Structure 1
Amino acid sequence: MVLQRLQKYASLLLLFTLIGCNKTDWNENFKEKEKSPFGNYIIYNEAENLFKDQEVSLLKENIYDYLAFNSDFDSTKTHNYVAIKHSGYKLTNTGVTELLSFVSKGNNVFLAFNSFKDSLKTSLKFTTNNLDKNVYAVNDLKKLKGTFELNNKSFSKTSFSFDRNIRRNYFLQYDENTTSVLGTFAVDGEKVPNFIKIHHGKGAFYLHIHPISFTNYYLLNDKEAYAANVFSYLPNAAVIWDPQIKSSKYEDKKEDDSNVFKFFLEHPTLKWFLFVSIIGVLLFMLFNARRKQRPIPVIEPLKNSTVAFTQTIANLYLKEQDHKNLVDKKIAYFLEKVRSKYLLDTTNLNSDFIEKLASKSGNELQKTKYLVNTIITLNKKPECIEEELIVLHKMIENFLK
C-alpha cells in the first residue's frame, strides 16, 4: 500500500517537473518544501502513509524544545523520532543529551545525515569516514554511484543501485556489542556499513549516512521500495517527524556564545594555545602599561615627480596622435644627453661630429652615422608617423646602451 502511494505520488511530481519552465536545481538542500531533485518534498508529505497505522506528528520546533518544554508531549508513550537532513547542525550538545535520554527510556531515533555531531559520536562510540568530503561541484557529484544492500532476507528486494551523488561515506568504527549493521554498500570492492542500529538503554538509534537516498530524485526513480524497507526497521510507535525547520529557542543562543571556547577546550593542543595566548596578552599589557616617549614622526622626503610628469605628457601626445611633437622631443632629449655626457657641440651634425660621437660613445661608426642621419631627416619633416617614432626611439635606446 505504501509503495503504491509513493509510486502514484512520484508520477504526479514527475509530471510537474516535466512541464516546469525553470532550470533544474541539482543542489542537495533536503528541504521539506522543495520539489527539486534533492529536496524532501515527497518523503515529508508521505510521512503519514509511510507509517500508516501509526500516529505521525510533524514537528514545528527544535526537538530539544519539544521534549524538554512542550507540555503536550506524552512521555508515557513510545515514540520514533525521524530526521533526514544534510547534518544535525541545529542539534545543540544539550539537544543531543536530551535525545540520548529520550532513547534510553525506550524510544527510538532515526537520523539520516551526511555528518553527525561529535558529541553524538562520542556518546554512542562510533566514527565515520568520508572519502569524498571535498567533492562539492554538481558535475563531480554526478559521477559518484553506489549499490546499497539491506541485511534482511525477508525483503523481496535487498539490493538497490543509486546512480549519482553517492559519496563514499560510511561508518568506520563502532561498538560491536551494542551495534547491528542493517545495510551496506561497496567501497573499492569492500562492503562497508552505511545503515546501523545502536542500542542505547531501552531504545535504539537507527543511523543512516546517505540521506540523499530518501530525496525526491530517488523516489522518482524506483527507489521508493528502499525507503519503505529502511523505515520498516523502526518498531510500531508514534512518529515525531522532524524537518528541523527551526533552531532551539532556549539553547542555541547560549551555546553559540560559548562554542568557540568549547571547541578550543575540547582539544588539548588548542587548549594550551589558548592559555599561552591569554598569558602572552596579559604580559604584553603589563610591560606596556608604563608611559612611553611620544614617537618621533617620520618626515618623508619630497618625491621626484619628474618621471611621472614626463610619462603623463608623453601619454597625452600619444593619445592626440601628435607623433611629430614626440619625435622632436626625442631628438632634443638625445642631443642634450650627448652634450652633457660626451661634452660635444651639437650645433652642426656633420661628419666630424659623427666620428667624435662614435669614438666617445663606443658605438660603431656606421651605426652612429645612421642614427644622426635619421635625426636630420626626421627633423626636417613637417609630419611623422607612428612607425618613424618607434624606430627613432629604439635606435636612441640601443645607442645609449
Structure 2
Amino acid sequence: MKALLNISKPSILLLIVLVLASCTKTNWTENYREKEKSPFGTYIIHNEANELFKNQEIVTLKENFYDYLYFNYEVTGADFGSYICIKNSASKLTEDGVTDLLSFVYDGNSAFLSLNYFSDSLLEQLEITTNNLDKDVYLVEDLKALKGEFYLENNTFEKDTFNFDRNIRKHYFVTYNEDKTIVLGSAKIDGEKVPNFMKIYHGKGAIYVHSNPVVFTNYFMLSGKEKYAENVLSYVPSATVFWDPQIKRSEYSNESDEDNTSVFKFFLQHKTLTWFLFVSLAGVLLFMLFNARRKQRAIPIIHPLENTTVAFTQTISSLYLKEQDHKNLVTKKIGFFLEKVRTKYLLNTTNLNKEFIHNLAAKSGNNLQNTKYLINTIITLHKRSECTQEELLVLHKMIDNFFKKQDDGNTK
C-alpha cells in the first residue's frame, strides 16, 4: 500500500499557516472530529482516506450504524464493507448497537475500533479486558508529558520503533481469548511490551481493536508519524469503508463547512452589490411601513365547523409529547403491530421465535433479515422500563416500512 499522505512540503506548510491564521489560540483538546483542523482532530486522516484505501468507496455515516444496516444491508455471503471508528469512546454504540456490529462482522465483514474507552458491553462480547493507567489524566499540560513507544509484530515492521512525544496514555489490553485473537501491535510500558493492537476473529469476519486513537490525529499526521497510522490501517481488508463520525445527522449536516459560501458574504465583498442590498432592504421596509394600515375594513372570514376528532387526537398526542411518556407509546405501537399481524396474517404472536419470524416474513413478503431486525427490536423495547424518543421513532419507521413494502407488493 502506498504512503498515507501524498502531500508536498509546501502544501503542509500552507495547511499549518491556515490553521494558525484561523484562530487566535490553539485548541489542544482531544476532540477526534473529522471536520476539526485543531491538533487532535481527525481532519487529515479522514480527508486522505481515499489515498489510504485505494479503489475503495468511502461512506461517511450520517446516521447510527444500526439504522444504516437496517435500510442498506442484506446478507449476501460476500464482503459488504469495513466499519471504522476512531474516537475517545464510541458512545453511539449502545448495547444493541454492539450486538448489531458484531453480527455484521460475523457475516464476513470487518470492523476497526480505536478508542480510549471501551464500553462494558463491547469488552464482554469481545472477551477482552483493558487497563488504563492514565484514565484520570485530563489536563493538557499533564497529557503533554505522556510519551509512548509502539511496535508492530509483523515481520515487515519488526525492526521499526514508533516513538510519540505526547498524549500517549498507558492504555493496553490485559486479557483476551487466545484461541481467536492475534496480537498485531504492542506498547512498551515500564520496560515491558503489552498489547495495544489486536485482531479478534468473529464468525467469518474479524474485528480490529486499538487502544490509542490519538496517533491518528492531525498532530501526528503532520509530525512525521503518519507511517504508523498507515501500517495499522493496512490490516483493514479491501472493501467499502464505513467511517463513523459518531454524531447525529442534524449535527453533522449543520456543522460549518469552509466550502460553503454565504450569500450575504458574497454581496458584502462587492461595493455595488452591497449598496444594492441596503437599498433593497430599505425599500422593503418603506413598503411595509406605508402599507401597514388597510385601505378598507377586513371582510370577516366565516370558518367551517372544525373536525373535533382531529382536535381530540391532537390534544392526546400533545399530552403524550408533554409528558415524554415514550414507553407508553412504544407499548401501544407494539400492541397495534401484533394485533394487525394476528388479524391480517392469522399468526399466533404469543411466542416471537425463529419460526414465527420465518412465517411472518413469508406471509408478508418482507425480507427475512429486515423482519428479524424488527422483531428483535420489539422484544428488546418491550423488556425495557423506559424508552427514548429516538428508539420510538426508529420503531415507528421500521413498522411503517414493514407494512409499506407489503402494500407495495399487493399493488404490483
Per the TM superposition, whether the score is higher than 0.5 is yes
Q: Write the distance in 1 (CA, Å) between the matches of 2:93 and 2:8.
A: 33
Q: Write the distance in 2 (CA, Å) between the matches of 1:56 and 1:100.
A: 21
Match of 1:171 among 147, 150, 173: 173
Q: Write the distance in 1 (CA, Å) between the matches of 2:7 and 2:125.
A: 36
Q: Write the distance in 1 (CA, Å) between the matches of 2:56 and 2:239.
A: 6
Where 2:117 maps in the other structure, the secondary structure is coil
- State whether residues 129 and 172 of structure 1, in contact with CA within 8 Å, keep that contact through their aligned partners in structure 2: yes
The letter of the residue matching 1:2 is: A
- State whether residues 47 and 56 of structure 1, in contact with CA within 8 Å, keep that contact through their aligned partners in structure 2: yes
Q: Write the distance in 1 (CA, Å) between the matches of 2:150 and 2:109.
A: 27
Where 2:4 maps in the other structure, the secondary structure is helix
Gaps of 5+ in 2: 251-373, 389-412
Match of 2:58 among 56, 59, 66: 56
Deviation (angstroms), 1:258: 6.3
The letter of the residue matching 2:167 is: N
Aligned to 1:38: 40
The letter of the residue matching 2:151 is: E
Q: Write the distance in 1 (CA, Å) between the matches of 2:215 and 2:385.
A: 31
Q: Write the distance in 1 (CA, Å) between the matches of 2:183 and 2:143.
A: 26
Match of 2:90 among 83, 88, 91: 88
Q: Write the distance in 1 (CA, Å) between the matches of 2:160 and 2:239.
A: 24
C-alpha RMSD over aligned residues: 2.5
Q: Write the distance in 2 (CA, Å) between the matches of 1:184 and 1:190.
A: 10
Q: Write the distance in 1 (CA, Å) between the matches of 2:8 and 2:75.
A: 35
Gaps of 5+ in 1: 260-401
Q: Write the distance in 2 (CA, Å) between the matches of 1:157 and 1:224.
A: 17
Structure 1 residue 5 corresponds to structure 2 residue 6: yes
Q: Write the distance in 2 (CA, Å) between the matches of 1:21 and 1:247.
A: 27
Where 1:84 maps in the other structure, the secondary structure is strand
Match of 1:193 among 195, 198, 201: 195
Deviation (angstroms), 1:256: 10
- State whether residues 105 and 204 of structure 2, in contact with CA within 8 Å, keep that contact through their aligned partners in structure 1: yes
Aligned to 2:352: none
Match of 2:16 among 14, 17, 25: 14
Match of 2:147 among 145, 148, 151: 145
Deviation (angstroms), 1:75: 4.1
- State whether residues 6 and 219 of structure 1, in contact with CA within 8 Å, keep that contact through their aligned partners in structure 2: no
Aligned to 2:119: 117
- What TM-score, normalized to structure 2? 0.58
- State whether residues 62 and 249 of structure 2, in contact with CA within 8 Å, keep that contact through their aligned partners in structure 1: no
Aligned to 1:102: 104
Deviation (angstroms), 1:114: 0.4
The letter of the residue matching 1:122 is: E
The letter of the residue matching 1:81 is: Y
Deviation (angstroms), 1:53: 1.9
Structure-2 change in CA distance of 1:64 and 1:4 (3 Å): closer
Deviations 1:123-174 (A, max 9, x none): 1100000011001000000000001111112249632111111011100110
- State whether residues 47 and 241 of structure 1, in contact with CA within 8 Å, keep that contact through their aligned partners in structure 2: no
- State whether residues 169 and 210 of structure 1, in contact with CA within 8 Å, keep that contact through their aligned partners in structure 2: yes
Q: Write the distance in 2 (CA, Å) between the matches of 1:237 and 1:64.
A: 19
Structure-2 change in CA distance of 1:56 and 1:131 (3 Å): same
Q: Write the distance in 2 (CA, Å) between the matches of 1:38 and 1:74.
A: 36
Where 1:34 maps in the other structure, the secondary structure is coil
Structure-2 change in CA distance of 1:60 and 1:258 (3 Å): closer
Instruction: Name whichever of 156-165 and 204-213 sits farther off.
Output: 156-165
Please give the residue correspondences for 1:204-283 in structure 2 after superposition, counting only pairs within 5 Å: 204-246=206-248, 257=386
Aligned to 2:357: none
Identical columns (%): 55
Please give the residue correspondences for 1:351-366 in structure 2 after superposition, counting only pairs within 5 Å: none
Deviation (angstroms), 1:2: 3.4
Deviations 1:312-369 (A, max 9, x none): xxxxxxxxxxxxxxxxxxxxxxxxxxxxxxxxxxxxxxxxxxxxxxxxxxxxxxxxxx
Q: Write the distance in 2 (CA, Å) between the matches of 1:218 and 1:119.
A: 30
Q: Write the distance in 1 (CA, Å) between the matches of 2:159 and 2:17.
A: 27
Aligned to 2:290: none
Where 1:3 maps in the other structure, the secondary structure is coil
Structure-2 change in CA distance of 1:120 and 1:54 (3 Å): same
- State whether residues 10 and 42 of structure 1, in contact with CA within 8 Å, keep that contact through their aligned partners in structure 2: no
Q: Write the distance in 2 (CA, Å) between the matches of 1:111 and 1:207.
A: 5
Deviation (angstroms), 1:74: 5.5
The letter of the residue matching 1:116 is: F
Q: Write the distance in 1 (CA, Å) between the matches of 2:222 and 2:112.
A: 22
- State whether residues 6 and 46 of structure 1, in contact with CA within 8 Å, keep that contact through their aligned partners in structure 2: no
Q: Write the distance in 2 (CA, Å) between the matches of 1:27 and 1:96.
A: 27
- State whether residues 5 and 51 of structure 2, in contact with CA within 8 Å, keep that contact through their aligned partners in structure 1: no
Deviation (angstroms), 1:257: 3.7
Please give the residue correspondences for 1:123-138 in structure 2 after superposition, counting only pairs within 5 Å: 123-138=125-140
Q: Which has the larger radius of gyration?
A: 1
